[in-house]
């Protein structure tokens, strides 16, 4: 305990406070000036850090190279970071590593322990695209550099352009023209995504209807009988969801089109900044006649160069689009 207190005191004396911000949980947080050693406790938030050009500042991470191989390839500095299982960091290790800022997901109970040790904690979380833009702005504010703030503005403008494009081309679709889309995050156990989620947002924008009617929230456990009752027109399997043959009862959905979702630095279908590419991919899959001119390989390569500072090759883009590892 004395060692922990001494470490905390040493950290506090070395950190210059830059100011305060309001994080995604609505809390006011005093943040250090341009924090250089950051622990990131939300899996998806790493993609925001990379987008802002600050991935090399992450010295403690909850992501693993076997789960997110593209993330570690694009940002190799993560291979030298402290990697933990789950979402809880050891406070003494953070202090010993001179971590001056921790990002956590909203509702992370471990956050209090970091705060009590004198480390600034910024809570992150969003369920829609405006929320993503806000989270990126908050993250840029916490990073405290003009570069991060400019990159947040650039990304948010780019994302809004993709949304406008997809909305324009999907305009006028009747309900009958909008296929019922079921997003399966996992097959064993069977988990799907309902309304009030980012998944629901991109399904709707891309010209579909979420088949999981009456279901609210992310990663909800359901049974195969319920999936049969929903009778989706399209099933989108997360990159690591498994093979649909793992649930034999789903073989009865003979007419459903089964798609495998792309995955890069982070799974495109979830809460990373590649969701802008997800919009284009999903729209092209659901309505190819309206989006046939979109070259997703080129779009992916351009995105990685612009927002991840990574010279993605055509072959690598193809692997990402087909949910293959590097």
Give me the pLDDT at residue 5, please. Answer: 46
How far, in Å, CA of 168 to CA of 161, rounded? 11
Which has the higher per-residue pLDDT, 48 or 2? Answer: 48
Give me the pLDDT at residue 105, please. Answer: 96
Is the pLDDT reported for residue 28 higher than 80? yes
Give per-residue pLDDT as tens, 244-276: 999 999 989 999 999 999 999 999 999 999 999
Give per-residue pLDDT as tens, 38-65: 999 999 999 999 999 999 999 999 999 9
**Run of H or E residues at 98:** none
How far, in Å, CA of 117 to CA of 12, rounded? 9
| pLDDT mean over 306-314 | 98
**pTM for the whole thing?**
0.92
How far, in Å, CA of 23 to CA of 190, rounded? 33
Are the beta carbons of 198 and 278 closer than 8 angstroms? no
CA atoms within 13 A of residue 81's CA, in its CB half-sphere: 28
How far, in Å, CA of 49 to CA of 217, rounded? 25
Give me the pLDDT at residue 16, please. Answer: 53
| pLDDT mean over 99-124 | 96
Rounded to the nearest 5°, which phi and psi values hold at 121?
-125, 125
Domain boundaries, the chain: 2-158, 173-321
Give me the pLDDT at residue 19, please. Answer: 83
CATH value of 2-158 in 3.40.50.1980, 3.90.190.20, 3.40.50.300, 3.20.10.10: 3.40.50.1980
Give per-residue pLDDT as tens, 141-162: 999 999 999 999 999 999 999 9
Architecture of the domain spanning 173-321: 3-Layer(aba) Sandwich (3.40)
Position 6 confidence tier, pLDDT thresholds 50, 70, 90: very low
> Mean pLDDT score of the chain, rounded to an integer?
94
Is the pLDDT reported for residue 317 higher than 70? yes
Same fold, 2-158 and 173-321: yes
| pLDDT mean over 233-239 | 98
Position 211 confidence tier, pLDDT thresholds 50, 70, 90: very high
Give me the pLDDT at residue 276, please. Answer: 98
Q: Could you report how far apart the first and last alpha carbons of the chain are, in Å?
A: 44
Position 3 confidence tier, pLDDT thresholds 50, 70, 90: low
Percent of the chain with pLDDT over 70: 94
Give me the pLDDT at residue 12, please. Answer: 47
Give per-residue pLDDT as tens, 175-208: 999 999 999 999 999 999 999 999 999 999 999 9
Residue with structure tokens 């943040």? 31
| pLDDT mean over 85-94 | 96
Residue with structure tokens 């579909």? 208
Percent of the chain with pLDDT over 90: 93
Which of 270, 17, 283, 10 is CA-nearest to residue 125? 270
Give me the pLDDT at residue 216, please. Answer: 97
Cα 144 to its chain centre, rounded Å, is 22
How far, in Å, CA of 299 to CA of 280, rounded? 9
Give me the pLDDT at residue 18, please. Answer: 62
| pLDDT mean over 289-318 | 98
How far, in Å, CA of 31 to CA of 18, rounded? 6
């Amino acid at each position: 305990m004395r060692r922990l207190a001494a470490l905390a005191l040493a950290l506090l004396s070395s950190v210059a406070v830059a100011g305060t911000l309001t994080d995604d949980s609505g809390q006011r947080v005093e943040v250090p000036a341009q924090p250089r050693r950051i622990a990131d406790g939300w899996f998806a938030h790493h993609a925001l850090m990379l987008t802002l050009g600050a991935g090399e500042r992450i010295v403690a991470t909850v992501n693993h190279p076997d789960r997110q191989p593209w993330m570690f390839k694009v940002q190799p500095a993560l291979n030298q970071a402290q990697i933990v299982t789950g979402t809880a960091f050891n406070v003494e290790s953070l202090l010993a590593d001179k971590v001056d800022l921790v990002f956590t997901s909203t509702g992370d109970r471990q956050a209090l322990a970091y705060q009590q040790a004198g480390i600034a904690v910024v809570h992150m979380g969003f369920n829609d695209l405006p929320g993503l833009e806000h989270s990126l702005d908050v993250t840029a504010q916490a990073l405290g550099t003009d570069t991060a703030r400019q990159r947040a503005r650039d990304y948010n403008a780019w994302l809004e352009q993709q949304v406008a494009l997809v909305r324009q081309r999907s305009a006028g679709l009747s309900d009958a023209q909008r296929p019922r889309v079921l997003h399966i995050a996992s097959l064993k156990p069977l988990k799907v995504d309902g309304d009030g989620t980012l998944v629901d947002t991109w399904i709707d924008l891309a010209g579909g209807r979420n088949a999981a009617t009456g279901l609210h929230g992310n990663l909800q456990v359901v049974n195969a009988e319920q999936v049969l009752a929903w009778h989706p027109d399209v099933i989108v399997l997360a990159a690591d969801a498994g093979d649909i043959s793992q649930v034999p009862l789903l073989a009865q959905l003979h007419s459903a089109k089964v798609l495998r979702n792309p995955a890069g630095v982070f799974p495109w279908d979830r809460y990373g900044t590649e969701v802008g590419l997800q919009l284009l991919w999903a729209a092209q899959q659901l309505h190819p006649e309206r989006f046939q001119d979109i070259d997703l390989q080129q779009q992916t390569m351009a995105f990685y160069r612009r927002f991840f500072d990574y010279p993605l090759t055509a072959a690598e883009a193809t692997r990402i689009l087909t949910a293959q590892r590097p």
